[in-house]
Amino acid sequence: MKSLIIIGVGGFAREVYWHAQQTGEFNSEWKIKGFLDGDIKLSEEDYSKLPEEVPLLGDIDSYQICDDDVFTCAVGMPEVRIRLIGKMLSRGADFVSIINHRSIVFPTAEIGRGVIIGLDNGIGDHVKVGDFSVINNATYLGHDVTVGKYSCIMSHVDIGGYAQIGDNVFIGSHVSIIPKSKIGDNAYIGTGSVVLKKVKAGAKVFGNPAIDIK
């Protein structure tokens, strides 16, 4: 039996704690050991909301990895995920994917390592989701969509077939991306935007249609 450790102590970490209990692996392959603080301290209110039954194990810089530990990173922004996960990978940490059983994942889909898929998502035919990405809640990825590594897709997002999402991309809630669109690495798509064709790497876009706002 493995011991799952959730990296993060904020609101998303509490949600991932619940998602982890809604997986087929919970109590069959691993139990939840506790939370690990990241390298950014949050408010006392955040710490006070952590579930009492699961301990805070310290922070990622001081925690000593045990042989039976596995990890998930419950932090939403790609640049922070890259930093925290990188620290743990350099020390030999093993990451697992968390997929809430209320999401539908087509058997042809390819889900990478350390991915988090929340509640009521649809992951369509021949979709590819890269390592350490997040698909939050109530989002649909159409057939043949590709999502790169470390990308974070928030709730109520609709991504049309054959769309290509790069690495380290953040997509806010209630975004619509039409089929065959291409979003470059490190792009940021603001809440409620409609992507009609292409977003350049590193661009920050917002609106309907989405335009660069830098």
Query: Domain locations in the chain?
Result: 2-96, 99-198
SS3 category, 119: coil
| The CATH fold of domain 2-96 | Rossmann fold (3.40.50)
Give the per-residue pLDDT at 39.
82
Give the C-alpha separation, 182 to 146, whole Å.
10
Return the CA Rg of the chain: 17
Give the per-residue pLDDT at 46.
84
Average pLDDT over residues 25-44: 90
Question: Is residue 61 packed enough to be buried (19+ CB in 10 Å), middle (13-18) or exposed (0-12)?
Answer: exposed
Q: Which positions are catalytic?
A: 143
In this prediction the pTM is 0.96
Average pLDDT over residues 186-203: 97
SS3 category, 6: strand
Strand-pair partners of 177: 159, 195
Q: Is the CATH code 3.40.50.1820 the one for domain 99-198?
A: no
Query: Which of 68-77 are b and which e, b meaning 16 or more Cβ less than 10 Å from the residue's Cβ?
Result: ebbbbbbbbe
pLDDT band at 36 (very low <50, low <70, confident <90, very high): very high
* Topology agreement, domain 2-96 and domain 99-198: no
Q: Is the pLDDT of residue 169 over 90?
A: yes
Give the per-residue pLDDT at 127.
98
Closest CA to 207 of 139, 183, 196, 151: 196
Give the per-residue pLDDT at 4.
98
Give the per-residue pLDDT at 154.
97
- Residue 39 burial (CB count, 10 A): 11
Q: Are 178 and 186 in contact (CB under 8 A)?
A: no
